[in-house]
Amino acid sequence: MTRTTTLSVTRNDVIAATLRKLEVIGEGETPSTEDYTNCTFGLNIMLKAWEKDGFYLWKLTEIPVPTVASNASYQVGDTATGTGAVVTNRPIRIMDACYIRDSSSNDSPLTVITKQEYNHLSGKTSTGTPNQIYYDPQLTNGVLKMYPTPSDATHTVYLVAQIPVYDFSTDGTEALDFPQEGYQAVVYGLAEEMLDEYPRLPMQKEQRIIQKAEYFRNQLADWSQEEGSIFFMPKVR
């Protein structure tokens, strides 16, 4: 017997499991086309809402942004355009772990500042090696601003960024953009999401689904945390 650890769950698998829990379909039955459509929409908006909770470790990535001399502003996103634009998944937000690398592969930390802090900086046209960045996610493409304005094109800023969970389309064979440890949370989360559209369960069973959805969602959030020590110190700028 060959043992595997590669369990993969598709959109259709999630929807079918959800509808069985809601008693919309029974054993051996298949969801209707309308059920797939409704549940796909519910699944997409639910996963987008979950992104507000924090950083999913599997959705963190490093996005290189090469500096362009005398250019302080860079679009970053799926349809990014303009000087120095980087076409990639639009970062939802970035972490303080961002850094800058020079032509000799030496890295230096970058300070991630707020919009207010960036607006209050004087001499934005002064040039040098950037040591502070401000990121505005916006709706379509994010905008990265560097300070001071890069004086040359010999550096690369690395954004440690959270990118969105992939959308589900009408292709029911798409794999869930979650690790195996999150499958249970997604199924019960979708069951809770769809309770209002399929109100046919006894109150006691509805409450059990809601409780399990919350429990597995909290477990997923707790599990998706970076391992390491925590140090508290004042942040001086």
**pLDDT of the residue at 222:** 85
Taking 3-state DSSP, the helix, strand and coil percentages for the chain, each rounded to the nearest 5, stand at: 30, 20, 50
Average pLDDT over residues 24-45: 94
Structural element, H or E, at residue 58:
none
Mean pLDDT in residue range 130-139:
96
Residue range 139-145: mean pLDDT, rounded: 96
What Rg, from alpha-carbon coordinates, does the chain have?
Answer: 22
* Amino acid type, 136: D
Give the pLDDT score at 228. Answer: 54
pLDDT interval class at 94 (50, 70, 90) = very high
CA angle, 210 as apex, 208 and 212 as ends, to 5°?
70
Q: Is a pLDDT exceeding 80 seen at residue 167?
A: yes
Mean per-residue pLDDT of the chain: 91
pLDDT value of residue 235: 59
Least confident segment among 5-19, 81-95, 217-231: 217-231
User: What is the pLDDT, as a whole number, of residue 232?
Assistant: 53
Both tokens assigned to 127: 């040039």
pTM of the predicted protein model: 0.83
Position 127 pLDDT exceeds 90: yes
Q: How far apart are CA 74 and CA 135, in angstroms?
A: 10
- With a cut of 70, say whether residue 231 has pLDDT above it: no
Question: What value does the mean pLDDT take over residues 84-102?
Answer: 95
The DSSP secondary-structure symbol of 154 reads S
pLDDT digits (tens, 9 = 90+) for 58-76: 889 999 999 999 999 999 9
Q: What percent of the chain has pLDDT over 90?
A: 73
Q: Is the pLDDT of residue 124 over 90?
A: yes
What is the three-class DSSP state of 59? helix
Q: What is the per-residue pLDDT for 13? A: 95
The pLDDT of residue 57:
80
pLDDT at residue 76, as a whole number: 98
